[in-house]
Amino acid sequence: MAINFTVINKLSQPSLTDLTDSPENFLLSLSAPTIIDIKGKNTQNWRVITTLLHGNEPSGFIALHQWLTELALGRVAAETNLRIIICSVEAAQQTPLFSQRYLVNGKDINRCFTSIANKAKDSDYFHRALLIKQAIDEVNPEAIIDLHNTSGTGPAFAVSTHCNSEALALSALFCDTMIISHIQIGALMELQFSGEVITVECGGCSDLHAHETALAGIKKFTAVNDLMHNANTHPVNVIYKPLRLRLTTGITLDYAKSNNNSADLVLKSSIEKHNYHIIPKNTEIGWLNNSADNMFLLIDEYGHNVFADFFYITNNKLTCANDLRFFMATTNKHIALNDCLLYVVKTLTL
């Protein structure tokens, strides 16, 4: 599939004809990443929503299509100017629709927002990341929401690189939990903009509530006059610094109810059920069929592998060494092998 990485299309105040009769047909009508600009009551200020950085995370796109349809019908209005950026159009268009995180032999663009000024001239995906950043910068937004779905099932949560009143207020529009992450992976959220930026994980792409969560949050984000209004009226739980549990290169992985195959690591097929909930110490989550030496990476902010602080292995069983909480545990083998198995944090919260 030939892609022109230098192109971002623009659309202003889309009509019902532009939007077509469904989010799927609207997606198929797009020929490249697309900026949609909406005029608000207050034309001096801008807000930004990004979606489909990952082509298999459709809730933000589907909810935005619904909101834009209601806007075209006069049922909703934007308080300020709004810029919507639909990103990985080509990946989302692969059949079946919304099934591909990124194109085969392509890159995860939400790992390309680090050092983009230097890398954009050498890499197509870094160049696209730079164009997305520039599209946000040119309107000097007061806030940016990046909409995603979690890799597995689970409730919605927000992610920010720091804890302040602005991030808490934005999170409260969508959910009641915010994770503070120090992990640098090249995500859009890690960049500095004129306004606060948070990621919202709306829930799993197959979770019935995820599209509804995205739409409800979008309606609040676009309609509220003062984004700080929710800072005190909707309390948000804060969870600090989860770590990514990853496998080293060359490890084989499978999922099953019991250890009935020869993969190096077999995780329980029910692991997604642990997402967000407290997992008691000594809970078994999988089995090892080969040596655990150098199999797992759980790197903290100081560059140390702290796997042994969170898990232990006995009788070839992978077991929780503390009361833990998982986020984005997935049974999607491609994501697990190429990104991470899950995010984990000890259960201390503030």
Residues 341 and 220 in one domain: no
pLDDT at 207: 83
Q: How far is CA 88 from CA 27, 44, 114, 259, 320, in A?
A: 10, 29, 18, 37, 36
DSSP per-residue string spanning 213-269? HHHHHHHHHHH-S-GGGHHHHS--EEEE--EEEEE-TT--EEEESS--S--SEEEET
At residue 64, the 3 state secondary structure works out as helix
Residues 220 and 294 in one domain: no
The pLDDT tens digits of the residues spanning 38-91 come to: 999 999 999 999 999 999 999 999 999 999 999 999 999 999 999 999 999 999
The Cβ of residue 128 has, within 10 Å, a number of other Cβ atoms equal to: 25
Measured N-to-C along each axis, helices 208-223 and 59-72 cross at an angle, to the nearest 10 degrees, of 50
Q: Which of 183, 213, 240 is where one domain is finished?
A: 240
Residues 320 and 307 in one domain: yes
* pLDDT at residue 350 tops 50: no
pLDDT at 280: 95
Mean pLDDT value across residues 97-124: 84
Residues 335 and 196 in one domain: no
Distance of CA 273 to the CA centre of its chain: 19
pLDDT at 230: 60
* Model pTM score: 0.88
State both tokens at 190: 């890690």
- Domain presence at residue 37: yes
pLDDT level of residue 349 (50, 70, 90 thresholds): very low
Backbone angles phi, psi at 334, to 5 degrees: -60, -45
Strand arrangement, sheet containing 265-268 = 253-256, 265-268, 284-288, 317-320, 311-314
Backbone angles phi, psi at 19, to 5 degrees: -80, -15
pLDDT level of residue 3 (50, 70, 90 thresholds): confident
* pLDDT at residue 199 tops 90: yes
The pLDDT tens digits of the residues spanning 132-144 come to: 999 999 999 999 9
Residues 44 and 136 in one domain: yes
Residues 232 and 264 in one domain: no
* pLDDT at residue 121 tops 80: no
Residues 316 and 176 in one domain: no
CA distance 87 to 90: 9
Segments forming the whole domain that contains residue 135: 9-240
Residues 142 and 284 in one domain: no
The pLDDT tens digits of the residues spanning 261-288 come to: 789 999 999 999 998 789 999 999 999 9
pLDDT at 123: 79
Residues 33 and 89 in one domain: yes
Residues 169 and 290 in one domain: no
Phi/psi zone of residue 98: left (φ > 0), alpha (ψ -120 to 50 degrees), beta? left
